[in-house]
Every structure is written in structure tokens, then in C-alpha cells.
């Protein structure tokens, strides 16, 4: 079920803005009315814009004392009934890990935006990397599944931020919005449609009476409905292992049931959650798997190879592109199916091989995987990706 | 597919980023093209130097950065020294003639155009609009974008109270550019 | 018969999740006493209980949220205050109470405490101070007074400890009081007062941890601690908070130290935006989204 966006937050029109600003507009269009942040390059522009815009939309921005505070204040606002998010980059993302875990455990719908820069530690504050892809998947302790989206243009920073909020509400979890410095600081045309053309997933507020309501009893889709504070439900929320009522219940049985449900609600709904871009995959010999800014550089590399008239036997070499718009949950089935009919994958990314391991794992040895790694600071040269494509075809 | 890489460079406060924004916006919003603008961020962007890059194309832009500019616009000597060797041999170099002396040999084939944008801006009463004078000049000498598109992009990018002044700045630069093309201005600071 | 049964009902029972009893607190622990006082204050305040939210951090006192029959949030270690800040700013119509321990609020959460007090966020903070980390087995806390034995200070503590009322006052709290679990009536009254105070209000409640503090320091059981509280405490309302620091065996100054008014965060925010933005400002109220 969806509704139209609240026009108050929708800046309908054609804009020339960067990815950070577009992400903020996406959040406002999605209905976010609360943001708690802490300044960090290259993500700060998102909350700077939110701070400028929100007083005339109706809502709250608060700059907190650190990222720990920023990443939990928003969850307080969510349980009050607001749609809320925070924005950060590497070092701040590291500090937020515990509260990503809290949001996962308490099933708090919210969005964490990470504009990735070079790491580890302070690293390259103003330069791009994609080194947080495993951190957003595994960074908090314990077992869980997340949803992560990776935009490759300012337009997608707008469109996919809305999707991130919608998925957060539908599946009740923190959605990781994995930008990179390049996409965040790149200015392009961004079209924001009228509010009535933007579909919004509302919060799944319970329709049950307070005495019937169980805060963590899941529906058929494995997701429970939610109550907000102040409505007489007198519910309890805890990061401890809890039963359907939300009460702490630290038993092996409760843990087993809860942790499996938190995992399964994502895995069993993966087809609904996951969207990815598929280009010329049908008869491909080599498939490039990429995401974020790297997917654009990879597409240029593919064009270069095609233009050079490379042959495989006596026909043209066929190269496809599988763009991970939803890196998590990872599209295991798609990659496995491709692996069975192609020569190899080429996985360029601005890290020393993170999603490439997933491609290798999912392909189960049926096709080779060539990682085109890069420590970050800029994007690949299309030539190095092109070389890997030729190597994969051999 | 036709791709044009442009670098704008100068020092902080000259409105380098604004120039890039106006050109980028003119191409993708007021014409049917595609454009991607990126800026140099980081500690170097806090000091004197400022630069911005725009890639224009008739197809979606894939690679976002400028590697070998078709057009270089410089408004500071330091920026000239740093970036002028990058310009393609069939490219265009546009300089602010009071601020940049074209000293080293540019590649043969590079067309060089100069405009005293600071002086023209001062004549309009506000030195601050030198970037828009440069933008008008750029529009005239490159012929890359329709003047009307760039004019609209200027109006779309500046605060309401300064629209008139900026429009006059654009026209002053544009007119100067036309004169240069006609050959009626010859005081270029070329070597 | 039914009348007879109702006579035996504890008036505080309506505030508790009786289905969660028995609780986890040790015999002689003071946390339950503070909860009793809290329910008394709720009763006296005629608060709409549907609009009261309790937020706790981690630790023995962090479990309070789970036993109160209110909207309740057991958050992460040290972060009850920023959670409460977000909840209160999104929902100004709610009364938001932070109920947690000394280690949670002043060690791992110390930064949040001073910043929430500085902002004067309209939340009520109750700190049950048992002078140690109890849930984890009696380690040194920033409140442990000089030369006390703890599991991580087996030869006695030597670090200076925080004077919590002074910290709260200096950071900007509008209401600061200290009581012990001996002072049940005074504590309940203070909690009631706090409810009616707009802004960042703080109550420190000194409470025994017979299992991990008193026993280890040969200070007797819970009852013995109450006797000591009675003997050692001296009520000094309005005392300078610089003079109320605690020592291991010395005087315990109790009372209401600070009761002042300054505009809270939401009031400042609204006034400021109205001033700077005029008609463009959209007042938030409760921001409950689609």
C-alpha cells in the first residue's frame, strides 16, 4: 500500500544540484521531517540543506554532539511517529554501528546515509571510495540482514532516497544509503516530479486495540506492525532479545526465533526489495558488475572495448553490465544464473575487493571473477577496467 | 557522441564555481544536452586556488572528470600555469587579460581568447560580476551553447536582487566576445 | 469479597507491568524504592499516562523502563538522553523521562548529559546513583567516591569522582535535586515538582548496591545503608552545588539545589525561527508522518 507524497516536502521542478542536495530532497519528498546529524565531509551538505529547508516545511533538524547521539536521536523521533534519518561518512559511520544494530533489533524504520570517502580512519576526507560496503552489511555485531542502495547519479540520489525510506517502512529496518563522494559532490540535472507522482509507503501502524497489540508479532510478510508513543499502547522496546510482546526474553528459543525472523524478512522478500540494472546480459561473454560512480566509469570502459572492435573467435565480443542498485541483499540467484553461461565477471570497485568476493561466492566457481581494485581517492581509469574485460574474455 | 570537457580555474572569491554551474545548467536544463559538474574539494579548495569542471555531452555523461579539456577558462596566473598544459591541441584557452599573462607556449592549434573581465565588471559598478562577464565572453567565443540558454541559466542562478546587474554583465562579456571574433579587438595578451 | 481484594492492591500496581515480575533487582537494592516514588509522583501529578514515555540506558537502573507500564524504551548504553531528545523534539506533547544509572548517564553518556542540559531540552532525568557499575559486577564508576573497593579497583579507588549536582547546574539544568532512597517522601515530591518544570531537570538518588558496593566495602546490608543515609544526610535546600560533593563515609547533602527558569530548546527554536523567517516558518508541533 502506498500514498502520494506530502507536497509540502516536494520541490517539484528541474534542478541542477549535487548528489548530497538531491539526497536531502529525496528525504523531504519521502516525508522525512526529522534529521539528527554531525558534520563530516563529504556528507555534510545533505544536512546543511535539510537545516535550511526544514523550518519552512515543518520539522526538526538538530545537530547533535557526536555521531552516537545523531544515530539514536533519530530513532527516538521515529518512535514518536516521525520519519527520520541521519547522514555521515566513514569515521562517523563507524561510530554509528551500534545504533544500526539497535535499529535492526528493535525494527526501527529509518535511513542511514553514508557518503563514502577513502579510509580507514580519517583517510581521504574529500575523495571518493567505496570501502564501506562490507561495513554496512556486517558492521554491527551479531547476525542480521540489511538493505543497502547505491545511487550512481544525483537523480538517483533523489529517487533512491525515496525508495530507501519506503523500504525502511515496509520492512521495518534501517536502510543503508551508500553514496560515494563522487556521486555526492557531482552536480547534474535532477528532475523532481509533482507530489502526486511520488509513491510513499506509510508507516505500518497497528490497527489493533492496545490490549490486543503485540509489538513484535509479525504479519505474514514476517514484519510486525508498529505503534507510536503517546497512543495508549504502553509498549516496550528493547535491544535485548525479546518476545512477541517486546519484553526481554533471553532464551535460546527466543533468540533463535527472533534472529531468524529478522534475517528471513529480508531474504524471503528479496525479490521485492532488490532492483538492479541489467544491460545487454542476454548473450554476454563478460559481465561487469559495478555500483555507484564506478558503474559509470565501467560503462565507459565497455563502450571503449566495443568501439575497438574486439572479437571472440570470429564474432564480436559481447559485454554486459549488471549494476548493483541494491548491493544488499546480494542478488545471489541472478549472479549464479549468469555465472553458468558467461566466461567471467569483472568487478571494479573503489576498495580492495569487497563486493567482488560476493560475486565470486555467488558464482560458485562457474565463471571466473576478476576484481579491479582501487584504494580510492579518485575513480578508475576506464582503461584498467577495459583491460580486465579483455582478460575475462580470454 | 560529442563530449566537451571544460575546466574553469581561478582563485577563491572569483565565482569560478558559479561559472561552471551556469554553463552546466544551460546545457542540461535550458538545452537538451547532458552535463556533469564537479569541483575540487579539500584543503586545496580552502586556500587560493579554485577550480570546477564541466563535462557536456549529447549523451548521458559517464566519466565525470575532465582529463584533457577542450576548453580552459582561467582567471589567475597560478591556475594558468597549472592547467594550461592540459588543453587539447585543438582546444580553446580563455583568459582574463588583466590577471593572466600567457607566458609559456601553448600547444600550437590552441585558440586563445582574452577579455579584461575585471575592468568590464568595474565599469558596470561591481567587480564581483567578473565571472558573469567571463561567462558571456565564453558564450560568444565558443559558440557551444545558445546565448539565450546561458542567459536563462544566469537568471536562474543569481539572487533576485542582482538579476539585472548580472544580465548586464553577461551582455557586456558577450558583446566583447563578438567583437573579438570580428577582429575589432586586438589587444590580446598573447605571446 | 471483591472489596477486600481491592484493599490489598498496591496503588502503584497500575503503573507496573506485573506480568514482568519478579524483577531482577537484588534484595536491599534501592532501585525499586525509587520506582515506587516515581509512581507516587505520577499519581499525584494526574499525568495522562498514555503521554508519558520512559527512556532508559543499560544497567540495573536501565531496567526500570521495562517494568513501568508506560511507553518505554530500553536503549543502548549511555544513549538514553539523545534518544529522549529525538523523541521529545518530534513529540512535544509527550512527557519524556530518562531513568538510568550513574555509569550509564555520566561515564559513557556524560557527553550527552551536558549537551542536553546546555540545550535545555525539556526532558526529566532521574539518575539512580549506586556508586558502581552493578549490572556488570561492581566496577569503578565516575561516581565511586575515594578509596572504595570495586572489582576493577581491588586496592581502592583513587580517581576523583563527579559531583553530579554541580555538573548538572554548570551544564545548564533548570532543576537539580539530590535525595537518597531513605527520603522516599521527599523524593516523590521532588519528582512531582520535576514533572511541572519545563526544561532539563535532574534528580540524583543515592541508592544502595548491597551486593556489589556495600558488601565489598564492609558497609553492611541494604537496611544498614538506609540507617547510614539517615544519619549522614543533611538537608540543605539551595545549597551551593560546589559544596555537595560526596565522600565515602562523609556527610550526604540532600535537598533541592537548583530551581530556575530559562527557555527550553523547543521554545528557543520556535522563537528564533519566527524571528528570522517570519511567515515562512512552519511550526512543527508533533511531527507525525505518513
Contact call for A69 and C85, based on CB within 8 A: yes
Domain count, chain A: 2
Q: From the CA of A51, how many Å to the nearest CA of chain C?
A: 11
Phi, psi of C213 (to 5 degrees): -115, -60
**pLDDT one-digit tens code per residue, A83-92:** 999 999 999 9
Chain A CB contacts of C111 below 8 Å: 65-66, 69
What pLDDT was estimated at residue B185? 72
Which residues, numbered 225 to 254 in chain A, qualify as contacts with chain C under a Cβ-Cβ cut-off of 8 Å? 228-240, 247-248
Let me know if A172 is exposed, middle or buried by CB neighbors in 10 A (0-12, 13-18, 19+). buried
Q: Do A187 and B38 touch (CB under 8 A)?
A: yes
Residues constituting chain C: 290
pTM above 0.90, yes or no: yes
Whether A76 sits inside 8 A of C83 (CB atoms) is yes
Please name the member of A70, A76, A83 whose beta carbon is closest to the beta carbon of C87: A76
What are A327-381's pLDDT values in tens digits? 999 999 999 999 999 999 999 999 999 999 999 999 999 999 999 999 999 999 9
Contact criterion met (CB < 8 Å) for A58 and C269? no
Maximum mean pLDDT: which of A130-134, B9-13, B36-40, C284-288: A130-134
A and C in touch (3+ CB pairs within 8 angstroms): yes
Q: Which residues of B touch A16 (CB under 8 A)?
A: 21, 24-25, 28-29, 37
Measured in angstroms, the CA of A35 and the nearest CA of chain C are apart by 9
Does the structure show a pLDDT above 50 at B78? Answer: yes
> For residues C248 and C147, is the Cβ–Cβ distance under 8 A?
yes
| CB neighbour list of residue A308: distance below 8 Å, 6 or more residues apart | none
User: In this predicted structure, what is the pLDDT of residue C7?
Assistant: 59
Residue in A closest to C70 by C-alpha: A234
pLDDT of residue A109: 98
The residue of chain A nearest to residue B60, with distances taken between CA atoms, is A296
pLDDT the model gives residue B45: 54
- Look at residue A176 and tell me whether its pLDDT is greater than 60: yes
- Which residue of B41, B42, B64 is in closest CB contact with A296? B64
Q: Which residues form the domain of A148? A: 3-200
Alpha helices in B86-162 (DSSP H): 117-123, 130-142, 147-157
- Pair A300, A196 in one domain: no
- Residue C6: its pLDDT value, please? 56
Are A53 and A158 contained in the same domain? yes
- Which three-class secondary structure state does DSSP give residue A345? strand
| Domain contains A234 | no
- Per CB-CB distance under 8 Å, the chain A contacts of B39 are 185
B92-96 vs B71-74, strand pairing mode? parallel
Q: Domain map of chain B by residue range?
A: 3-182
CA distance A287 to A280: 9
Q: Which chains, if any, share at least 3 CB pairs under 8 A with chain B?
A: A
Q: Are A and B close enough to touch, i.e. 3+ CB pairs under 8 angstroms?
A: yes
Which chain B positions have a beta carbon within 8 Å of A189's beta carbon? 28-29, 34-35
C-alpha cell at C149: 573497593
Q: Is the pLDDT of residue B186 over 70?
A: no
Task: Say whether A125 sits in a helix, a strand or coil.
Answer: strand
What cell does A324 get?
A: 548493483
B29 vs A182, A189, A297: nearest CB:
A189
β-sheet bridge partners, residue C95: C52
Q: Which of A9, A17, A46, A391 is nearest to A200 (CA)?
A: A9
State the pLDDT at residue B106: 80
**What chain C residue is nearest to A97 in terms of C-alpha separation?**
C76
Mean pLDDT of chain B: 91
Question: How does residue B191 score in pLDDT terms, banded at 50, 70 and 90?
Answer: very low
Q: Is the pLDDT of residue B41 over 90?
A: no
CATH architecture, domain defined by B3-182: 3-Layer(aba) Sandwich (3.40)
For the segment B62-70, the average pLDDT, to the nearest whole number, is 95
Give tens-digit pLDDT for B87-96: 999 999 999 9
Instruction: Write out pLDDT tens, residues A48-91.
Output: 999 999 999 999 999 999 999 999 999 999 999 999 999 999 99
What is the rounded distance in angstroms from the CA atom of residue A102 to the CA atom of residue A117? 25
Residues of C in contact with A203 (CB under 8 A): 289-290
Instruction: Give the tens place of pLDDT for each residue, A254-297.
Output: 999 999 999 999 999 999 999 999 999 999 999 999 999 999 99
The x, y and z cell numbers of residue C38, run together, are 516515581
Distances (CA, A) of B168 to A127, A292, B151, B184: 38, 41, 10, 21
Last residue of a domain, one of A145, A172, A200: A200
List CB contacts (< 8 A) between A78 and chain C.
86, 90
Look at residues A183, A200, A217 and tell me which one is the last residue of a structural domain. A200
Please judge whether C73 and A230 are an interchain contact, meaning their C-beta atoms are less than 8 angstroms apart. Answer: no
Based on the domain organization, do A152 and A14 belong to the same domain?
A: yes
Asked if residue A51 is part of any domain, the answer here is yes
Cα–Cα distance measured from residue A178 to residue A88, given in angstroms and rounded to the nearest whole number:
10
pLDDT tens column, B115-171: 999 999 999 999 999 999 999 999 999 999 999 999 999 999 999 999 999 999 999
> Count of A–B CB contacts within 8 Å?
58
Å from B54 to nearest chain A CA? 9
- The pLDDT of residue C288 is 81
CB within 8 Å of chain B, chain A residues 327-366: none
Task: Determine the residue of chain A that is closest to B59 in CA distance.
Answer: A300
The strand pairing partners of A60, in sequence order, are A34
Find the closest chain C residue to A210 by CA distance: C50
Q: Measure the CA–CA gap between A281 and B62, rounded to whole angstroms.
A: 19
The helix (H) or strand (E) run that includes residue C95 is strand C95-101
Domain presence at residue A159: yes
Strand, helix or coil for residue B9 = strand
Q: What domains are there in chain C, each with its CATH number? A: 19-279 (3.40.50.970)
Burial of B89 (0-12, 13-18, 19+ CB in 10 A): exposed
A51 → chain C, closest CA residue: C273
| Nearest CB to A72; choose among C65, C76, C288 | C76
Residues C230 and C115: their CA atoms lie apart, in Å, by: 34
Q: Is residue C194 packed enough to be buried (19+ CB in 10 Å), middle (13-18) or exposed (0-12)?
A: buried
Say yes or no: A9 and A134 in one domain.
Answer: yes
Cell 588543453: give the residue: B87
* Residue A327 belongs to some domain of the structure: yes
Final residue before a domain boundary, out of A200, A220, A255:
A200
Q: Which residues from A are below 8 Å from C280, CB to CB?
A: 55-56
Question: How many residues in total does chain A contain?
Answer: 394
CATH number at residue A193: 3.40.50.970
Q: Cα–Cα distance between A90 and B182 in angstroms, integer?
A: 54
CATH number of A370's domain: 3.40.50.920
Task: State the complex-level ipTM.
Answer: 0.97
CA distance A42 to A122: 12
Query: What is the mean predicted confidence (pLDDT) over A201-216?
Result: 97
Question: Which residues of chain B make contact with A299, given a CB cutoff of 8 A?
Answer: 62
CA distance A269 to A272: 5
User: What is the residue-level pLDDT of chain C in tens, covering all 290 positions?
Assistant: 445 555 567 788 889 999 999 999 999 999 999 999 999 999 999 899 999 999 999 999 999 999 999 999 999 999 999 999 999 999 999 999 999 999 999 999 999 999 999 999 999 999 999 999 999 999 999 999 989 999 999 999 999 999 999 999 999 999 999 999 999 999 999 999 999 999 999 999 999 999 999 999 999 999 999 999 999 999 999 999 999 999 999 999 999 999 999 999 999 999 999 999 999 999 887 788 75
DSSP A139-206: -SSS----EEE--SSHHHHHHHHHHHHHHHHHHTSEEEEEEEHHHHT-EEEEEE--GGGSEEPPP-B-
Mark yes or no for CB contact B41/A297 under 8 Å.
no
| Mutation to test the A interface, candidates B5, B28, B62, most A Cβ within 10 Å | B62
Amino acid at each position: 500500500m502506498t500514498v502520494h507524497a506530502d507536497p509540502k516536502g516536494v520541490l517539484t521542478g528541474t534542478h541542477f544540484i549535487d548528489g548530497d542536495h538531491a539526497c536531502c530532497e529525496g528525504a523531504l519528498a519521502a516525508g522525512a521531517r526529522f534529521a539528527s546529524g554531525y558534520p563530516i565531509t563529504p556528507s555534510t551538505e545533505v544536512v546543511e540543506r535539510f537545516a535550511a529547508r526544514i523550518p519552512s516545511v515543518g520539522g526538526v533538524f538538530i545537530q547533535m554532539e557526536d555521531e552516537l547521539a545523531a544515530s539514536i536521536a533519530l530513532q527516538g523521533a521515529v518512535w514518536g511517529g516521525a520519519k527520520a534519518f541521519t547522514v555521515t561518512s566513514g569515521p562517523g559511520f563507524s561510530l554509528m554501528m551500534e545504533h544500526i544494530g539497535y535499529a535492526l533489533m528493535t525494527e526501527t524504520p529509518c535511513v542511514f546515509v553514508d557518503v563514502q570517502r577513502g579510509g580507514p580512519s580519517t583517510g581521504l576526507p574529500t575523495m571518493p571510495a567505496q570501502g564501506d560496503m562490507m561495513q554496512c552489511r556486517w558492521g554491527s555485531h551479531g547476525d542480521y540482514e540489511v538493505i543497502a542502495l547505491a545511487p550512481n547519479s544525483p537523480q538517483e540520489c533523489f529517487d533512491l532516497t525515496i525508495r530507501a525510506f519506503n523500504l525502511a517502512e515496509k520492512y521495518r529496518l534501517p536502510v543503508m544509503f551508500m553514496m560515494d563522494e563522487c556521486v555526492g559532490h557531482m552536480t547534474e540535472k535532477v528532475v523532481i516530479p509533482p507530489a502526486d507522482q511520488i509513491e510513499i509507503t506509510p508507516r505500518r501502524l497497528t490497527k489493533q486495540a492496545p490490549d490486543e497489540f503485540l509489538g513484535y508479532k509479525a504479519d505474514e510478510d514476517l514484519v510486525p506492525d508498529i505503534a507510536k508513543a503517546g497512543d495508549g499502547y504502553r509498549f516496550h522496546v528493547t535491544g535485548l532479545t525479546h518476545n512477541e510482546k517486546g519484553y526481554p526474553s533471553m532464551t535460546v528459543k527466543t533468540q533463535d526465533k527472533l534472529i531468524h525472523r529478522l534475517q528471513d524478512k529480508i531474504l524471503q522478500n528479496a525479490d521485492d526489495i532488490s532492483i538492479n540494472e541489467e544491460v545487454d546480459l542476454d548473450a554476454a561473454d563478460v559481465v561487469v558488475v559495478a555500483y555507484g560512480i564506478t558503474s559509470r566509469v565501467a560503462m565507459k570502459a565497455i563502450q571503449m572495448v566495443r568501439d575497438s572492435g574486439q572479437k571472440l573467435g570470429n564474432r564480436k565480443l559481447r559485454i554486459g553490465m549488471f549494476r548493483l542498485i541494491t548491493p544488499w541483499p546480494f542478488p545471489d540467484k541472478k549472479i549464479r544464473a549468469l555465472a553458468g553461461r558467461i566466461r567471467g565477471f569483472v568487478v571494479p570497485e573503489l576498495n580492495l575487493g569487497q563486493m567482488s568476493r560476493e560475486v565470486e561466492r555467488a558464482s560458485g566457481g562457474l565463471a571466473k571473477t576478476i576484481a579491479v581494485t582501487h584504494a580510492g581517492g579518485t575513480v578508475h581509469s576506464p582503461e584498467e577496467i577495459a583491460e580486465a574485460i579483455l582478460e575475462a574474455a580470454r | 557522441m560529442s563530449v566537451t570537457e571544460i575546466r574553469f580555474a581561478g582563485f577563491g572569491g572569483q565565482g569560478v564555481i558559479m561559472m561552471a554551474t551556469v554553463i552546466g545548467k544551460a546545457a542540461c536544463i535550458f538545452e537538451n544536452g547532458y552535463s556533469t559538474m564537479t569541483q575540487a574539494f579539500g584543503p586545496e579548495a580552502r586556500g587560493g586556488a579554485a577550480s570546477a569542471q564541466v563535462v557536456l555531452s549529447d549523451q548521458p555523461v559517464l566519466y565525470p572528470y575532465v582529463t584533457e579539456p577542450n576548453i580552459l577558462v582561467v582567471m589567475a596566473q597560478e591556475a594558468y600555469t597549472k592547467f594550461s598544459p592540459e588543453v587539447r591541441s585543438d582546444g580553446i584557452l580563455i583568459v582574463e587579460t588583466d590577471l593572466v599573462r600567457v607566458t609559456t607556449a601553448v600547444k600550437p592549434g590552441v585558440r586563445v581568447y582574452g577579455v579584461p573581465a575585471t575592468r568590464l565588471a568595474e565599469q558596470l559598478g561591481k567587480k564581483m560580476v567578473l565571472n558573469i562577464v567571463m561567462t558571456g565572453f565564453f558564450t560568444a567565443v565558443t559558440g557551444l551553447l545558445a546565448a539565450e540558454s546561458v542567459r536563462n541559466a544566469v537568471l536562474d542562478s543569481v539572487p533576485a536582487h542582482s538579476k539585472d546587474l548580472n544580465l548586464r554583465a553577461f551582455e557586456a562579456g558577450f558583446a566583447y566576445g563578438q567583437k573579438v571574433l570580428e577582429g575589432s579587438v586586438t589587444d590580446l595578451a598573447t605571446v | 469479597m471483591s472489596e477486600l481484594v481491592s484493599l490489598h492492591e498496591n496503588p502503584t500496581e497500575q503503573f507496573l507491568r506485573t506480568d514482568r515480575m519478579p524483577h531482577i533487582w537484588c534484595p536491599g537494592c534501592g532501585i525499586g524504592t525509587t520506582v515506587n516514588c516515581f509512581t507516587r509522583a505520577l499519581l499525584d501529578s494526574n499525568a495522562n499516562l498514555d503521554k508519558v514515555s520512559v527512556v532508559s540506558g543499560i544497567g540495573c537502573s536501565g531496567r526500570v523502563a521495562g517494568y513501568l507500564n508506560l511507553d518505554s524504551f530500553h536503549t543502548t548504553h549511555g544513549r538514553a538522553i539523545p534518544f529522549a531528545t529525538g523523541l521529545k523534539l518530534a513529540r512535544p506533547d509527550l512527557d519524556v523521562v530518562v531513568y538510568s544509572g550513574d555509569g550509564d548517564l555520566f561515564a559513557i553518556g556524560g557527553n550527552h548529559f551536558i549537551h542536553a542540559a546546555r540545550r535545555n531540552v525539556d526532558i526529566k532525568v532521574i539518575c539512580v546513583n549506586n556508586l558502581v557499575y552493578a549490572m556488570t559486577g561492581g566496577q569503578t564508576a565516575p561516581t565511586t567516591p575515594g578509596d572504595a573497593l570495586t572489582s576493577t579497583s581491588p586496592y581502592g579507588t583513587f580517581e576523583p569522582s563527579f559531583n553530579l549536582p554541580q555538573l548538572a547546574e554548570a551544564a545548564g539544568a533548570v532543576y537539580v535535586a539530590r535525595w537518597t532512597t531513605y527520603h522516599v517522601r521527599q523524593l516523590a515530591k521532588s519528582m512531582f515538582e520535576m514533572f511541572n518544570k519545563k526544561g532539563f531537570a535532574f534528580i540524583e538518588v543515592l541508592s544502595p548496591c548491597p551486593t556489589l558496593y556495600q558488601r565489598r566495602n564492609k558497609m553492611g546490608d541494604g537496611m544498614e545503608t538506609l540507617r547510614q543515609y539517615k544519619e549522614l544526610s543533611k538537608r540543605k535546600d539551595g545549597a551551593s552545588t560546589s559544596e555537595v560533593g560526596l565522600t565515602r563515609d562523609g556527610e550526604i547533602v540532600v535537598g533541592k539545589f537548583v530551581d530556575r527558569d530559562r527557555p527550553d530548546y523547543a521554545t528557543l527554536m520556535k522563537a528564533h525561527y519566527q524571528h528570522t523567517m517570519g511567515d515562512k516558518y512552519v511550526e512543527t508541533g508533533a511531527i507525525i508522518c505518513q
